[in-house]
Structure 1
Amino acid sequence: MRLASFRSAEAEGYGAIVDDGVIDLGRRLPALPTLRHAIAAGTLQTLRDAAKGQSADHALADVELLIPIPAPEKIWCVGVNYADRNAEYKDGSDLPRYPSLFCRSASSFVGHGVPLERPKVSEQLDYEGEIALVIGRGGRHIPRESALDHVFGLTLCNEGTVRDWLRHGKFNVTQGKNFDRSGSIGPWIVTSDDIDLSRPLELTTRVNGEERQNDTTERLMFPFDRLLAYLSTFATLKPGDIIVTGTPTGAGVRFDPPRWLKPGDLVEVEVPGIGLLSNRVVDEA
C-alpha cells in the first residue's frame, strides 16, 4: 500500500495512492486525523479497508505532496553507511565501529515535486539520495532479530546538504544539514507488507538525467535491523519517526571540481518498488 500526506485546495490530509490519484483516508477516518495518528494506532488493515473499492478523491496533479509524516517526533540521519564512503574522506581512518548520527528538523524537508531552495548564504547545495525507514511499532532496546517488525514502511529522501556550513561548529554538522527546504522526503510510504526488507534494494540518484549515485542496500555497513537496534539502545523509537539510512558515493562534493546544485536543476532519487522522488532547485526568495 502506498500512503501519502498531501495539501489540497480545501485542507491537509492523507490517503492511499491509486494510479494517478489519492483516496482521502483522513476524511473517511475522522478518529485518525493524520497519517502519524493512523500509524500509532496500528490500523494498517483499517486503512486498507477504508480504501478498498474507493475511487480517488483528488488527482495527484491537483494536490501538493507533503513529507509523508509532516510532524515526526524524530528524524534520525545516518552518515557514512555504504561501502567505499569512508574512503571518500581520504583521512586514513578505519571503518567505523558505530553509525555516525545527526538529527534534522521537519522544516528542512519538502515533499515530492516541491522546489528545493538553495540558500542565500551559500552556493554549495548538494544532493544525497537515501532510503528512509518509517517506524510503525515503537520501542526501546529493540533486539536486532525482531527490529524489522518495527518498520511501518519505506520512503525516499534527498538529504540535501549545504557543504560549507557543515563545519561551522567544532563537533557537529547540524547547521549544514538543517537549512529550511534544502532536502526532500517522499513521494509516499510503501508499507512493509508490500516490500521485502530482506532483499537488496537498488538506489539511484540522477541530476538532470545524469546518474550520479547507484548502489544497493546489500553494501550497507550498518543494515536496517542493526540501525534500529542501535538507535533504540539510547532513544525510544516512536511511531512515525523517520530514519534516513545513508547515501552512496557520488555526491556533488566528491567531483573535481565539485558539482553543486543550481537553480533549474532536477534531482531524482529512485528505488524500484518504492518510487521516484523528484525536485527542482530554486534560489531562496
Structure 2
Amino acid sequence: MKLVRIGPKGAEKPAIATESGFADLSSVISDITPETLADLPSALKGVDLSSLPAIEPGRFGSPISRTGHFIAIGLNYADHAAESGMPIPAEPVVFSKAPSCLSGPDDDVVLPQGVEKADWEVELAVVIGREADHVSRADALDHVFGYMVCNDVSERAWQIEGTGQWIKGKSAPTFGPVGPWLVTADEVGNPQTLDMFLDVNGKRCQTGNTTTMIFAIDEIISYLSRHMVLMPGDIITTGTPPGVGMGMKPQTFLKEGDTMRLGIAGLGEQNQKVVRRKA
C-alpha cells in the first residue's frame, strides 16, 4: 500500500494510491496517526477501494499526522563519515529531531533567522508499526509498518559549532520533510537495495544506495529497542550517503531561493523551495 495525506496544512485527508489515482479513506479511518497504524490493515481488509470517492492530488502532507519520537541515525554511510571528517562509528550514532519539524514533502523549507549553514540529507525513514522492546535482529523488521523518503535538513553551525548539540541543528520547523508516500513494508521488500538521490538547483549532489549503510535497518531497530521502547508511529531516519554541502570543497550551504529535488526508488520524490523566515 502507498498511503498519503492530501489537503491544506491541518486539514489533510487520509488516502491510498490506486491504479487510477487516490481514494479517500476518510470513511474508513479518521486519519493516519500513531494510534490508527496498528489497526489500519484490518480496517482496510475487504474494503472495495473502487467504491471510495476519488481525491484529487493537491498538496501532500506528511503521510503520518504526527510522531511521538523522531529518531535519527548519524554517520551511517562510511563515505559520508569520511567527507564529514569523522571516524566510522563503532555503534549507531543516535540523536533526535523535534517532532514539530515534521512537514510535507513539497512544503517550503524555512530557514530561521540567523541560519547560514543549512544543509541537505536524503535519507530512508522507517515508520514503526508495533511496539519494539528488546527485539532481536531476526524479528526487527516485523515491527516496521513502512518506509518514507526523508530530507534530514540540518543547520551545521547549530549542530556542530559551539556546544555541538545535534538536536539543535536538526529540529527547526520544516526541517523534517517526509513522504510523499508511506509505503508498507510488504511492498518495499528488502530495504537494503534502494537507490537514492538529491539535486540542488538541478545539480546532482547525492547519489547512493541503502546497501552501503554501515548499520542495516534490522540492526538499527534491534539496537534502539535495547535502549528505548519504540512505539507505533515512531520515525527512524537512517543516515545519508555522501554529497552534503558540508562535505564539499568549498563548503556549500542552502540559501533563499534554492530548490531541492530528492527521492528513493519506490518511495516517491520530494521537491522543496528554500525560503527565509520573516522577522
Structure-2 separation of matches of 1:51 and 1:267: 37
Contact 2:102–2:176, Cα closer than 8 Å, also in 1: yes
Contact 1:21–1:56, Cα closer than 8 Å, also in 2: no
| TM score, norm. by length of structure 1 | 0.90
Contact 1:187–1:276, Cα closer than 8 Å, also in 2: yes
- Distance change >3 Å, CA 258–CA 201, structure 1 → 2: same
Q: Which 5+ residue runs of structure 1 have no aligned equivalent?
A: none
- Distance change >3 Å, CA 20–CA 193, structure 1 → 2: same
Residue of structure 2 equivalent to 1:13: 13
Instruction: Figure out how many residues of one structure are paired with residues of the other and give that number.
Output: 278
Contact 2:159–2:170, Cα closer than 8 Å, also in 1: yes
Contact 2:261–2:269, Cα closer than 8 Å, also in 1: yes
Residue of structure 2 equivalent to 1:28: 27
Deviation at 1:160, TM superposition (A): 0.4
Answer yes or no: is 1:205 the counterpart of 2:205: no
Structure-1 separation of matches of 2:83 and 2:237: 20
- Distance change >3 Å, CA 248–CA 15, structure 1 → 2: same
Residue of structure 2 equivalent to 1:237: 230
Deviation at 1:24, TM superposition (A): 2.0
Deviation at 1:28, TM superposition (A): 1.0
Answer yes or no: is 1:4 the counterpart of 2:4: yes
Deviation at 1:280, TM superposition (A): 1.2
Answer yes or no: is 1:65 the counterpart of 2:60: yes
- Distance change >3 Å, CA 51–CA 39, structure 1 → 2: farther
AA aligned to 1:24 is D
Match of 1:46 among 40, 43, 60: 43
- Distance change >3 Å, CA 10–CA 264, structure 1 → 2: closer
- Distance change >3 Å, CA 199–CA 75, structure 1 → 2: closer
Residue of structure 2 equivalent to 1:228: 221
Contact 2:24–2:52, Cα closer than 8 Å, also in 1: no
AA aligned to 2:132 is G
Structure-1 separation of matches of 2:140 and 2:84: 30
Structure-2 separation of matches of 1:144 and 1:271: 24
Structure-1 separation of matches of 2:68 and 2:82: 33
Deviation at 1:8, TM superposition (A): 4.5
What SS does structure 1 have at the residue aligned with 2:78?
coil
Contact 1:128–1:160, Cα closer than 8 Å, also in 2: yes
Contact 1:5–1:35, Cα closer than 8 Å, also in 2: no
Residue of structure 2 equivalent to 1:85: 80
Contact 2:98–2:167, Cα closer than 8 Å, also in 1: no
Answer yes or no: is 1:157 the counterpart of 2:156: no
Deviation at 1:257, TM superposition (A): 1.8
Deviation at 1:38, TM superposition (A): 2.3
Structure-2 separation of matches of 1:266 and 1:20: 30
Contact 1:67–1:184, Cα closer than 8 Å, also in 2: yes
Deviation at 1:3, TM superposition (A): 0.4
Structure-2 separation of matches of 1:201 and 1:186: 15
Match of 1:173 among 146, 166, 169: 166
For 1:230-266, what per-residue CA distance to the aligned partner results, in whole angstroms no more than 9, with x for missing partners? 0000111111110000001110111122221122222
What SS does structure 2 have at the residue aligned with 1:166?
helix
Deviation at 1:21, TM superposition (A): 4.3
Map of 1:76-155 to 2, 5 A cutoff? 76-90=71-85, 93=87, 95-155=88-148
Deviation at 1:279, TM superposition (A): 1.2
Higher mean alpha-carbon deviation, 194-203 vs 211-220, is at: 194-203
What SS does structure 1 have at the residue aligned with 2:228?
coil
Deviation at 1:147, TM superposition (A): 0.7
Contact 1:205–1:267, Cα closer than 8 Å, also in 2: yes
- Distance change >3 Å, CA 154–CA 217, structure 1 → 2: same
Residue of structure 2 equivalent to 1:274: 267
- Distance change >3 Å, CA 180–CA 14, structure 1 → 2: same
Structure-1 separation of matches of 2:134 and 2:265: 31
| TM score, norm. by length of structure 2 | 0.92
RMSD: 2.1
- Distance change >3 Å, CA 198–CA 257, structure 1 → 2: closer
Contact 2:6–2:57, Cα closer than 8 Å, also in 1: no
Identity within the alignment, %? 32
